[in-house]
Amino acid sequence: MKRLILFLAFVAPLLLSAQTNKRVFSPQKNVMLEFSLDAKGNPGYRVAFAGIFAIENSSLGFTTKETDLSGGFRFVSAAITSHDETWKPVMGEVDHIRDQHNELLVRLINKDEYRMDIRFRVFNDGVGFRYEFPKDEGHNTLTFTDEKTAFQMGGDHTAWWIPGDYNSNEHVYTTSKISEINTDPYNQAEVAISAQHIVDKTNVQTPLTMRMADGKHISIAEAALVDFAAMHLQADVKNLRFKAFLIPSPDPAVKSINTLPFHTPWRAILLSEDAAGILNSKLILNLNDPSKLDDVSWIHPTKYVGIWWEMHVGNGTWDYAGGQDMSSATGRAPHGKHSANTANTKKYIDFAAKYGFDGVLVEGWNTGWEDWFGKWKDEVFSFTTPYPDYDIDELTRYAKEKGVKIIMHHETSAAVPSYERQMDDAYAYMKKYNMDAVKTGYVGQIIPRGEWHDGQWMVNHYVRVADRTAKNHIMLDAHEPVRPSGLGRTYPNWVACEAARGNEFNAWSRGNPPEHETILPFNRLLGGPMDYTPGIFETRMSTYKADKTEVVHTTVAKQLALYVTMYSPLAMAADLPENYEKRLDVFQFIRDVPLDYSESRVINASIGDYITYARREKGKDNWYIGSITDENPRHFDVKLDFLKAGKTYEATIYADGPGAHWKDNPYPVSITKKTVRKGDTLALDLAAGGGCAIEIK
Amino acid sequence: MKRLILFLAFVAPLLLSAQTNKRVFSPQKNVMLEFSLDAKGNPGYRVAFAGIFAIENSSLGFTTKETDLSGGFRFVSAAITSHDETWKPVMGEVDHIRDQHNELLVRLINKDEYRMDIRFRVFNDGVGFRYEFPKDEGHNTLTFTDEKTAFQMGGDHTAWWIPGDYNSNEHVYTTSKISEINTDPYNQAEVAISAQHIVDKTNVQTPLTMRMADGKHISIAEAALVDFAAMHLQADVKNLRFKAFLIPSPDPAVKSINTLPFHTPWRAILLSEDAAGILNSKLILNLNDPSKLDDVSWIHPTKYVGIWWEMHVGNGTWDYAGGQDMSSATGRAPHGKHSANTANTKKYIDFAAKYGFDGVLVEGWNTGWEDWFGKWKDEVFSFTTPYPDYDIDELTRYAKEKGVKIIMHHETSAAVPSYERQMDDAYAYMKKYNMDAVKTGYVGQIIPRGEWHDGQWMVNHYVRVADRTAKNHIMLDAHEPVRPSGLGRTYPNWVACEAARGNEFNAWSRGNPPEHETILPFNRLLGGPMDYTPGIFETRMSTYKADKTEVVHTTVAKQLALYVTMYSPLAMAADLPENYEKRLDVFQFIRDVPLDYSESRVINASIGDYITYARREKGKDNWYIGSITDENPRHFDVKLDFLKAGKTYEATIYADGPGAHWKDNPYPVSITKKTVRKGDTLALDLAAGGGCAIEIK
């Protein structure tokens, strides 16, 4: 503490030209936020953390069509308040979360008499701030044309980033210095993904997590993204500075149009001494509003199987009439391979019932799949019309008899007004057929044409769906939306999103590199759970077609560990039933692993290298450990100091077997049982691209 | 006839290079359509009419992203069929319409094996043709990038045109030679209207009606505009040729995306020896599909008054909280002038009941008017939330007691997905409150941002609204849509549109020139009735505010005549009740004039100069004559040869009174009664900007 105070005394003279300075410290005083208004009325801020300036003097504000909100302000008032509260998530990695922060509310007014308040919240693990535009006479609308919020770094940190794609976040992460950010390679044909739109070579997405030279970590993120364009970051690679970049509307000059009163989403800066601190941070959830739902009794963890991977590997198709699989997305030769037929769905229901799964996802059940992909067509899908070989009445009866829920699938092909027109009918249809969870999809270019997945219009759509599904007591899992920003707190039925490169890329592309899953928890997962669809036992695609060369870039043991390291209350066992039935001993871990926890501990973590988590099952004394590595084999000694003293536990360890390697030998899993006590140490040996999953009961 | 045949023999050699020619004649053989496919497989056509080529050799086809549909075709087959049928419109200018034509269906296939059929229908009053794309294996989608259909004129005709504005048709018409078309003046600030988007100086809208040097008339139009971009015309002013111009999607390169099978709207060419023939043509209605509605018993003519003009003249406002009138559209000073309050609405209901009107339109009844105009904002209006001073329960009860229907108003501010999300609720709300007609509005730039009023997406929206209102037994009057194309035949509940410059422009702009209403029936009205809102008795805006200079550019007698010359089954008496009660003798004509006719006769007509109609009330022997002129006074002798022989009628003549003049002396109306018989001649004297309305019973 003394170090910080001294440091501030030293740098204070730099700010003498400021008209007004206001400082606020975190409860533990390890983080300091300073707001400044300079002589020209330009607002700025900086953030100190553990003796350094994590954010050096940086600008604040906006340009709008109505008025200039980046300068010319007069100071009106400032107020500091304290907040300390503990709240309980409906489901999650922990069963309670403490929201302790000090808040500075600065009120400004500009030359045109527009008011702008900035609300800063300073936590022990970072800072959040948002802009607020109160309602006053004469000013009703703001048309935002640019955001001036900057984030001046103090060094050339190591960053893990994906490009500032307006339409997708399904990219492989790049690790580079800030000064080396360059998104050009993502536009090469062999790498590019469908509908991507990457226009600036130094724009990257948030959350953007970085490691400083001394091992400290910082992440720039967004919380509570509602009624505004998503914030990406424009990197000034020379000056090591980021500037907020708002995804535009179809009019490139217009980023967001809002009615007053209005406040922006939160700009969040996570700060930590180490990588683990980023994983432990609940800052983004704390910046989101509490649940809007009175009744959450119907929301539950859901482990599921489904008609899905068989299409990705080419065994079946989504469409009924054509021959659409992932290798011939628009062919139309007759084939008889439609997966979502009644008999096949019953097979999955039987499997789910037999092994204790909650749900069966069925993709391709509804009309529209013949010609949807890449066409930018409107009115493609019906969400209330099954294909003729899908007997929904019989399947509803059958699933109910077996105690399994069918999970609805709504692929919109990004024709969003068409989906919105059908939404009420579609949700009523789900309720009629006893379904309580839906997976939505937004593959392709958006209709309204000219809109982007990350623009204001779509942001509002995603929230609208969360709201309407909540009203219908439907759990939501959105695929291809903007990356989440913690809204699962406000809409607890919004249990998961995809919004990143999922496991299916391993089935038909260059795949996900072994480090992929060691990066996602540090950025994508900060905003909420991901439906990553792990659990692939048959990792070689040549099994399905001899000429295929694609492989899943992990060992099978790592596929198990992912259930622990990538937390989600909605989790798929993605592989085919027949692949699981061949290895029921290994499959046992997927059956056992819980999806809701009382506490979670990061045992070790290094971005892009490895993560080890230990988590205690909600309300129980059972622990689950997941440990994963990148392409390098690793040895970890995990001390079981979290167990209860004086108690004996049985550990079941699912480790990479002899000679395991993600590429050459993915299958071996050695399963051992061991009696353990508090203080014992478990020695884990992870293969290249491997992992380890442990159940301790 | 002989003249045409000779003529064709003469020009035939010009076509020798063609691979294939197919000809089809109209039933009376006065019109000939010739299709040709040249040696390169380029399709073309020409149209002969009464001894000339009204359309000289012109190209056909499209460019698409998938394949070239403008050339490289092989001829497959051609078939000619005849058609003769008479059908009855639900309401209209006539009680039966004969659809007599010969059809040529040409089947083509291109080098990529895409099929394109062209269906030509040749009537005695013109030609219609459309492109059809059958469903076949392997081809599912067409992404249209340009239409190659051309219309080669044979001379530098006189054209009455408005600019090819993507967003609006509310322009004053220009009269010029084809060679002089230049839309630049419309982009001058003092003339430009809200949200207009005019990008090409030689683009004009359809219908485009022209007069040839010899007095023949031709109109290029569109029929049955469904699921496609509206067709404007790109004028090649040097070569006197028009090319179809499709309004783009937000991606300027994409005009329309369609799933096969698909057919385009009809391209229509109306041909006539004189101006009256254009007015008499039912070709556009004949090209539209028959009614989709089984039950039309609930559709009825509607004469109405409403809370509307008082806002236009500045006496009241749409919004409750602010001070929004037409002269301060975004002010917010408290004012207490909200027109749609309970007491004022009752006043209109009383007036309607007393004078026999069917409906009372109430604008400004619902929340959202505080800040809607020109902001391009989403989620502005609620269509189920009345303002606090509008007691909808009481007014519903009151209106029912008085035997009057309240007409719903849905101004969307062009935020269309927001309207679509509310549509079902909004129509259920209307039914709950006993309403059976809605006036929709699309003021401003479209949301989805980047879409245009005349683009495919919006075209589909307008039809969707017609369809959904029909299902709810609601009559539809769309304001600010694409200009109609005869779809009122297919959706008889779609009783009227605005889609042109209405009477309200006279209240707060340079207004409508005296010739305006003598032009509209020749182009805008070809596609269906217009809700022009005539009947303004107090034509001087200085009556309302001393410093106002705007005037309605007609005499009061002409305002009466408009009810006859501009046919609509939905017609407003637009002025304030107090203005009518001051002149109940003149008002009597508005009370008496019917909105549905058995027959209609054009007595005389010259575009931009004058129009005189005589119409017989449906199923009765009462005749109504309306005669209007432009800025020039005129004398007409109208021979009553349409009356029944041997019968005596009483004519009530509402003529311009002594010294009447639209500008200096608009008010005088002389009302005389006269006994008349078949063969009598009535001498009409129309003032400058004047008119005459006659009831013969």
Q: How large a percentage of chain B has pLDDT more than 90? A: 90
Give the distance from residue A68's alpha carbon to the nearest chain B alpha carbon, in angstroms: 17
* Helix A392-402 with A342-355: angle, nearest 10 deg: 10
Give the distance from residue A281's alpha carbon to the nearest chain B alpha carbon, in angstroms: 35
- Please count the other Cβ atoms lying within 10 Å of the Cβ belonging to residue A541: 21
pLDDT tens-digit readout, B596-655: 999 999 999 999 999 999 999 999 999 999 999 999 999 999 999 999 999 999 999 999
Give the distance from residue B440's alpha carbon to the nearest chain A alpha carbon, in angstroms: 18
Do the Cβ atoms of A116 and A69 come closer than 8 Å?
Answer: yes
Write down the pLDDT at residue B328: 40
Q: Sort out which chain B residues have CB atoms less than 8 A from A141's CB and list them.
A: 371, 375, 377
Subunit contact B378:A457, Cβ cutoff 8 A: yes
Write down the pLDDT at residue B322: 64
Report the half-sphere exposure of A458 (CA within 13 A, side-chain side). 32
Closest CA to A478 of A530, A416, A525: A530
| Single-letter amino acid, residue A23 | R
Write down the pLDDT at residue A137: 74
Give the distance from residue B498's alpha carbon to the nearest chain A alpha carbon, in angstroms: 25
**Which parts of B237-291 are beta strand (E)?**
241-246, 256-259, 262-263, 266-272
Do the Cβ atoms of A180 and A237 come closer than 8 Å?
Answer: yes
Subunit contact B257:A378, Cβ cutoff 8 A: yes
**Rounded-to-integer distance, Cα B437 and Cα B410, Å:** 11
Subunit contact A254:B137, Cβ cutoff 8 A: no
Question: How far does Cα A561 stand from its chain's mean position?
Answer: 18
Query: Annotated active-site positions of B, please?
Result: 504
Q: Which chain A residue lies closest to B255 (C-alpha atoms)?
A: A449
- The helix (run of H) or strand (run of E) holding residue B513 is none
Interface test with B, best of A65, A143, A259 (most B CBs within 10 A): A259
The domains of chain B are located at 2-286, 534-697
**Which parts of B413-519 are beta strand (E)?**
437-441, 475-479, 494-497
Interface test with A, best of B255, B375, B422 (most A CBs within 10 A): B375
pLDDT tens-digit readout, B298-312: 999 999 999 999 999
Tokens of A334: 């007759």
From the list A411, A498, A504, A695, the catalytic residue is A504
Q: Which chain A residue lies closest to B142 (C-alpha atoms)?
A: A375
Q: Which chain A residue lies closest to B421 (C-alpha atoms)?
A: A421
Residue B332 touches chain A, beta carbons under 8 Å: yes
Write down the pLDDT at residue A18: 60
Residue A274 touches chain B, beta carbons under 8 Å: no
SS3 category, A581: helix
Classify burial at B468, counting beta carbons within 10 Å of its beta carbon; exposed 0-12, middle 13-18, buried 19 or more.
Answer: middle
Residue B418 touches chain A, beta carbons under 8 Å: no
**Rounded-to-integer distance, Cα B230 and Cα B220, Å:** 13
Which of A137, A257, A378 shows the shortest C-beta gap to B375?
A257
Interface test with B, best of A136, A371, A449 (most B CBs within 10 A): A449
Q: Which chain A residue lies closest to B259 (C-alpha atoms)?
A: A377
Average pLDDT of adjacent 10-residue blocks, chain A of 697 residues: 46 56 97 97 97 97 97 96 98 98 97 96 98 87 97 98 98 98 94 92 98 98 98 98 97 94 97 98 98 97 98 91 50 68 97 98 93 88 95 98 98 96 96 98 95 97 98 98 98 98 94 97 98 97 93 97 98 98 98 98 98 98 98 98 97 98 96 97 98 98
Q: Which chain B residue lies closest to A332 (C-alpha atoms)?
A: B138
- Fold for domain B534-697? TIM Barrel (3.20.20)
Whether the pLDDT of residue B325 is over 60: the answer is no
**Rounded-to-integer distance, Cα A270 and Cα A278, Å:** 7
Write down the pLDDT at residue A327: 42
Which of B257, B371, B450 shows the shortest C-beta gap to A376?
B257
| Single-letter amino acid, residue B286 | N
Residue B421 touches chain A, beta carbons under 8 Å: yes
Residue A451 touches chain B, beta carbons under 8 Å: yes
Write down the pLDDT at residue B167: 97
Q: Which chain A residue lies closest to B380 (C-alpha atoms)?
A: A259
Beta pairing class for A241-246 and A231-236: antiparallel
Give the distance from residue B393's alpha carbon to the nearest chain A alpha carbon, in angstroms: 27
Subunit contact A332:B138, Cβ cutoff 8 A: yes
The 3 state secondary structure assigned to A301-344 is: CEEEEEECHHHHCCCCECCCCCCCECCECCCCCCCCCECCCHHH
CA terminus-to-terminus distance, chain A = 42
Which of A141, A249, A464 shows the shortest C-beta gap to B371?
A141
Do the Cβ atoms of B414 and B197 come closer than 8 Å?
Answer: no
Q: Which chain B residue lies closest to A227 (C-alpha atoms)?
A: B378
Instruction: Report in angstroms the alpha-carbon separations of A593 from A162, A556, B267, B638.
Output: 31, 15, 65, 93
Closest CA to A167 of A202, A201, A205: A205
**Residues of A611-647 as b/e, b for ≥16 C-beta within 10 angstroms?**
bbbbbbbbeeebbbbbbbbbbeebebebebebbeeee
Residue B376 touches chain A, beta carbons under 8 Å: yes
Look at the alpha carbons of A137, A143, A146, A151 in this order and tell me if their dihedral is positive or negative.
positive
Give the distance from residue A303's alpha carbon to the nearest chain B alpha carbon, in angstroms: 33
Whether the pLDDT of residue B12 is over 60: the answer is no
Beta bridge partners of B650: B675
Residue B667 touches chain A, beta carbons under 8 Å: no
Do the Cβ atoms of A595 and A618 come closer than 8 Å?
Answer: no
Of B106-120, B309-323, B432-446, the least confident: B309-323
Residue B685 touches chain A, beta carbons under 8 Å: no
CB pairs under 8 A between A and B: 102
Subunit contact A376:B451, Cβ cutoff 8 A: no
Report the half-sphere exposure of A443 (CA within 13 A, side-chain side). 18
Query: How long a stretch of residues is chain A?
Result: 697
SS3 category, A355: helix
Tokens of B589: 């004509």
pLDDT-derived band at B326, boundaries 50, 70, 90: very low
Closest CA to A116 of A102, A101, A130: A130
Q: Sort out which chain A residues have CB atoms less than 8 A from B420's CB and list them.
A: 417, 420-421
Question: How far does Cα B208 stand from its chain's mean position?
Answer: 12
Looking at residue A290, the DSSP 8-state letter turns out to be P
Whether the pLDDT of residue B483 is over 50: the answer is yes
Tokens of A447: 């209709």
Tokens of B249: 């999607």
Do the Cβ atoms of B221 and B526 come closer than 8 Å?
Answer: yes
**Rounded-to-integer distance, Cα A364 and Cα A340, Å:** 6
Which of A141, A332, A424 shows the shortest C-beta gap to B424?
A424
Beta bridge partners of B58: B45
Look at the alpha carbons of A661, A662, A664, A666 in this order and tell me if their dihedral is positive or negative.
positive
**A203-204: strand order across its sheet:** A18-25, A31-38, A43-49, A52-59, A150-152, A241-246, A231-236, A203-204
Q: Quick check: is A504 catalytic?
A: yes
Phi-psi region of A679 (alpha: psi -120 to 50; beta: other; left: phi over 0): left
Tokens of A584: 């029921």
Whether the pLDDT of residue B329 is over 60: the answer is no
**Rounded-to-integer distance, Cα B266 and Cα B489, Å:** 14
Question: How far does Cα B649 stand from its chain's mean position?
Answer: 34
Subunit contact B449:A457, Cβ cutoff 8 A: yes
Q: Sort out which chain B residues have CB atoms less than 8 A from A143's CB and list them.
A: 375-376
**Rounded-to-integer distance, Cα B116 and Cα B109, Å:** 6
pLDDT tens-digit readout, B391-443: 999 999 999 999 999 999 999 999 999 999 999 999 999 999 999 999 999 99
- Please count the other Cβ atoms lying within 10 Å of the Cβ belonging to residue B82: 10
Q: Sort out which chain B residues have CB atoms less than 8 A from A448's CB and list them.
A: 250, 417, 447-451, 457
Beta bridge partners of A682: A638
Which of B250, B371, B447 shows the shortest C-beta gap to A449?
B250
Instruction: Report in angstroms the alpha-carbon separations of A547 from A132, A361, A542, A641.
Output: 58, 29, 6, 49
The 3 state secondary structure assigned to B279-338 is: HHCCHHHHHCCCCCCCCCCCCCCEEEEEECHHHHCCCCECCCCCCCECCECCCCCCCCCE
Q: Sort out which chain A residues have CB atoms less than 8 A from B460's CB and list them.
A: 378-379
Write down the pLDDT at residue B405: 98
Whether the pLDDT of residue B35 is over 70: the answer is yes
Write down the pLDDT at residue B138: 78
Do the Cβ atoms of B571 and B361 come closer than 8 Å?
Answer: no
Tokens of B489: 């035949």
Do the Cβ atoms of B239 and B190 come closer than 8 Å?
Answer: no
Report the half-sphere exposure of B436 (CA within 13 A, side-chain side). 18
Whether the pLDDT of residue B5 is over 80: the answer is no
* Helix B584-592 with B556-565: angle, nearest 10 deg: 10
pLDDT tens-digit readout, B499-541: 999 999 999 999 999 999 999 999 999 999 999 999 999 999 9
Write down the pLDDT at residue B323: 53
- Tell me the average pLDDT of chain B: 94
Whether the pLDDT of residue B17 is over 70: the answer is no
SS3 category, A540: strand
Q: Which chain B residue lies closest to A259 (C-alpha atoms)?
A: B377
Closest CA to A662 of A636, A628, A612: A628
Closest CA to A90 of A283, A296, A279: A296
Residue B259 touches chain A, beta carbons under 8 Å: yes
What's the whole-model pTM score? 0.89
- Fold for domain B2-286? Beta-galactosidase; Chain A, domain 5 (2.70.98)
Write down the pLDDT at residue B335: 62
Tokens of A549: 């060369």
Q: Sort out which chain B residues have CB atoms less than 8 A from A457's CB and list them.
A: 378, 447-449
